[in-house]
Structure 1
Amino acid sequence: MCGRMAVTLPHDAMAQIFAAAPANALPRVPNYNVCPTNDVHIVTGGDDQGQRRLGAMRWGFVPHWYKKPGDGPLLINARAETIAEKPAFRSAAQERRGIIVATGFYEWTKDEDGGRDPWYITRRDGAPLAFAAVWQDWQHPDTGDRLRSCAVVTCAANRPMQVIHHRMPVVLEPKDWPLWLGEAGKGAATLMVPAAEDALTWHRVSRTVNSNRAEGAELIAPV
């Protein structure tokens, strides 16, 4: 599962790391509390000239049959095990894959009293997280307004991560980016697996982040 994330990289750094041309309007950074329905940074595959794009999309996939964005469940995650079968994601998994860029993400455990304790999870090597994602170009049936939206692809958690949660985002390694983006032929389904057991690290953070209105670098400070 992935329900909240943080992004601290400057736009030019993201564009350079992913060899992508940045859009004019990108979500603000740093943002230590990116929530569902917020815009996220997403890299999409090469255009006719082979140029990747770094753009913004709503986090919360809107299937083409929705009459409005809130017409059904908020689809922030897409399960790797069923993504090729679910009507909402089937076409996107084949044709519209992207990479959501993040610095870290949050997960929660419960204490003995039922309180929710947040954990901040990053790559152990300090590199940005590249989440496998699928996206949709949705059009309002009456007004014609368009909205691009996306979902994080998730898989079963690797062994260390199971201490916190039984699911985790699919974290792509740089060598796999071309295949996931459709630049290197077929076989992207083979990438939807848990991250290596030594890939991620985490620490407890303040329950302040339990509020979707919380802001500031202190949200990711260890406690």
Structure 2
Amino acid sequence: MCGRFSLTASPEEVEALLGVVDVDAFPPRYNIAPTQPVLMACSTGPREPGSNLPDREAKLVRWGFLPSWVKDPKKFPLIINARSESVTEKNSFRAAIRHRRALLPASGFYEWRREGGKSVQAYWVRPRDGGVIAFAGLMETYSEPGGSEIDTGCILTATANEEFAPIHDRMPVMIPREEFGRWLDCINNEPRDVADLMVAPEPGFFEAIPVSNLVNKVANTGPEIQERVQPAETGKPAEKPVDDAQMQLF
């Protein structure tokens, strides 16, 4: 799953990765949590002949997917992740996986190893070679009863690879840079045409660094939350994340 992540790359680095322009300046974000605004890139459709404009655009969306048919958002569960194995079968995601696939830039994500239903150790999971990456995302524009609209999104997850499985059985889907175009092209590529992309990264791509309980609190937003610590002893529970209810898979 993915219940917290980080984006510390500069706007220029994000623009270069995603192939978009005019990404608003933003400070490094070390502890991005559900319901907060996150950056996503989506396709704008085919370019006009002779146009020099990019065929992608960046948007700020609420991390918390709301299907268009929801009547009362307050009574609808917070969806921050969608299972890639069943995303085409769920009514909540069927339209988005077909028409509104997106990319979510990240420097890495956090995960908690659990034992006996309790959080034992937090990990900062980042690309072994550094840099910024893009998770597979879905977007939906929700029209509120009053007429206003809000862009919302979620991150796709897959069964964890064998290297990551001892920490958690799920992990976010990462789209390789060379596959961005195919993933975002919702006109020519149906969900079955991109199903091969909705899998966990290969073992060896990420490294998992044990970190302290500072990451558990959304108010802690500095780089110190990513500092390596001595892993907790097996069987000794760590402090439970204060918003653990938000980190359940849909």
TM-score (norm 2): 0.82
Give the superposition deviation at 1:104: 0.9
1:95-114 to 2 correspondences below 5 Å: 95-110=99-114, 114=118
Distance apart, 1:190 and its partner CA: 1.7
Match of 2:188 among 180, 185, 188: 185
Query: C-alpha displacement at 1:144, in angstroms?
Result: 0.6
Instruction: Structure 1 unaligned segments of length 5 or more: list them.
Output: none
Task: Give the residue type in structure 2 aligned to 1:117.
Answer: Q
Native 8 Å contact 2:173 2:200 kept in 1: yes
For the 8 Å contact 1:8–1:32, the answer to whether it is kept is yes
AA aligned to 1:10 is: S
| Deviation (angstroms), 1:184 | 8.5
Instruction: Tell me the alpha carbon deviations over residues 37-60 of structure 1, each in whole angstroms, 9 at most, x when there is no partner.
Output: 011111111445352112211101
Residue type of the alignment partner of 2:171: M
Question: Which residue number in structure 1 is paired with residue 154 of structure 2?
Answer: 151
Q: In structure 2, which of residues 37, 40, 44 is the aligned counterpart of residue 39 of structure 1?
A: 37
CA contact (8 A) 1:37 1:59 kept: yes
- 1:93 is the counterpart of 2:91: no
Identical amino acids, percent of aligned pairs: 32
How far did residue 98 of structure 1 move? 0.3
Q: 2:79 aligned with 1:60, yes or no?
A: no
Is the Cα contact below 8 Å between 2:100 and 2:186 reproduced in 1? no
Which amino acid in structure 2 is aligned with residue 86 of structure 1?
A: K
* Matching of residues 193-212 of structure 1 within 5 Å: 193-212=199-218
Q: Which amino acid aligns with 1:118?
A: A
Matches of 1:29 and 1:115, distance apart in 2: 30
Cα distance in 2 for residues equivalent to 1:113 and 1:90: 31
Determine helix, strand or coil for the equivalent of 2:74. Answer: coil
Partners of 1:123 and 1:184 lie apart in 2 by 31
Name the SS for the 1:70 alignment partner.
helix
Per the alignment, residue 174 of structure 1 pairs with: 177
For structure 2, list consecutive stretches of 5 or more residues without a partner in the other structure: 48-53, 230-250
Matches within 5 A, 1:17-32: 17-24=17-24, 28-32=26-30
**8 A contact 2:112–2:119 mirrored in 1:** no
Q: Deviations over 1:152-181 (max 9, x none)?
A: 000100010101100010011111111110
Tell me the matched-pair count: 220
**Partner amino acid for 2:105?**
V
RMSD between superposed Cα atoms in Å: 1.9
With over 3 angstroms needed to count, the CA separation of the structure-2 counterparts of 1:67 and 1:22, relative to structure 1, is farther
The Cα of 1:88 is off from its aligned counterpart by: 0.5
Higher Rg of the two aligned structures: 2
Partner of 1:4: 4
Equivalent of residue 118 in structure 1, options 112, 122, 143: 122
Deviation, 1:127, is 2.5
Q: 1:138 to 1:75 in 2, by over 3 A?
A: same
Q: What is the one-letter code of the residue matched to 2:184? A: L
CA distance in 1, matches of 2:38, 2:117: 34
